[in-house]
Chains A and B, each alone.
Chain A
Amino acid sequence: MKLDAALDRTLAALADPTRRGILARLALGEATVSELAEPFAISQPAISRHIRVLSEAGLIAQRVSGTKRPCRLAPGALSELDEYLEMLRGALTHNYRRLDQLLAKQAKGKDKSP
């Protein structure tokens, strides 16, 4: 289903913390690629790759201004469905990290018992 493929692409784009950071910055207004790269300890080509993923997912748009290609948030980029799935992802990520720790603790306890 077409709609579903688009949603999966949005989710994949949102799964990365750097890309979420880029979106958060763009929520404040338009920014150039070098401005977007600034807060992150990664190279400009790496940022450009993230921007391409966000752009292909329809989350951001770029325009040409001289030698610069400033980015902005695409209108209506995030639906309440995206938001719900991100909330679910956040809650589950926390849950399963705690579960990892609990399982590791159990395994350790077992090793100690005779």
Chain B
Amino acid sequence: MSELLLTTEGETHVVVKRRFEASPEALYRAHLDPELIQQWCLGPEGWTMPVCVNEAKPGGKIRYEWSNGKGMGFFLTGEILELDPPHRIVHVERMHMPDATPDNRIVTTFVADGSGTLMTMRMSLPNAETRKAMLATGMERGMEASYVRLERLSGSKASS
């Protein structure tokens, strides 16, 4: 299963599961080492992360800044709450768009699964207001065609 499994838990949480062909140690490192984070945690195509701070220790600060190279950008700040290497990361984060969204506590676990690792990430579902703000930031720009289509779909709904 290298396909992403995304489910909701009640009306308050989202649970994401995915399998990787690598050890829990490698996954754990990839989630905490800024040099590695900058290479993959970029969202849609066309975005980069010019600033990446992750103090990888309990109480350590997190700051990720994204840019699309065309003057659009936003950033995230957070703190590490708990670390249990290489199996568990608990952190809190908020987006700044530019107003800060409510704190999102995220628990990420890595469990060995055969030759790979099963990652599970459990996080809060943002409230309706935050979701609307996120959809309006242009984060969806440059997304694969299906999302452009979905956008058009919702647009045509609004105008009908």
Which residues of A does B touch, CB under 8 Å? 1, 3-4, 7-8, 11, 15, 17, 20-21, 23-24, 27-28, 73, 75-78, 80-81, 83-96, 98-104, 106-107
Are A8 and B7 within 8 A (Cβ)?
A: yes
How many residues does chain B have at the interface if contact means C-beta atoms less than 8 Å apart?
Answer: 45
Known: A20-B150, A92-B6. 5 other contacts (CB 8 A): A80-B132, A83-B154, A84-B126, A87-B134, A99-B30
Are B11 and A84 within 8 A (Cβ)?
A: no
Chain A residues with CB under 8 A of B97: none
Are A73 and B153 within 8 A (Cβ)?
A: yes
Are B6 and A1 within 8 A (Cβ)?
A: no
Are A90 and B44 within 8 A (Cβ)?
A: yes
Task: Fill in one digit per residue for B15-46: 1 if any A CB lies within 8 Å of its CB, else 0.
Answer: 01010111000110010000010011111110
What is the bound-complex CA distance between A2 and B30, given in angstroms?
Answer: 37
Chain B residues with CB under 8 A of A88: 6, 14
The 8 closest A-B pairs by CB, nearest first: A24-B149, A103-B22, A98-B40, A27-B153, A84-B131, A91-B43, A99-B40, A20-B146
**CB-defined A-B contacts under 8 Å, sample of 11:** A27-B153, A28-B156, A84-B135, A88-B6, A89-B6, A91-B43, A93-B4, A94-B44, A100-B20, A101-B40, A103-B26
What is the bound-complex CA distance between A74 and B139, given in angstroms?
Answer: 27
The closest CB in chain B to the CB of A3 belongs to B11
Q: Is the interface of A mostly helix, strand, loop or mixed?
A: helix
Q: Does B70 contact A (CB under 8 A)?
A: no
Q: Give the shortest distance, in Å, between B39 (CB) and chain A (any CB).
A: 5
Are A87 and B139 within 8 A (Cβ)?
A: yes
Are B126 and A90 within 8 A (Cβ)?
A: no
User: Which residues of chain B (109-160) have a CB below 8 Å from chain A?
Assistant: 125-126, 128, 131-132, 134-135, 139-140, 143-144, 146-147, 149-150, 152-154, 156-157
What is the bound-complex CA distance between A89 and B156, given in angstroms?
Answer: 22
Chain B residues with CB under 8 A of A17: 146
Q: With contacts A86-B147, A88-B14, A94-B44 known, is A24 near B153, CB below 8 A?
A: yes
Chain B residues with CB under 8 A of A4: 8-11
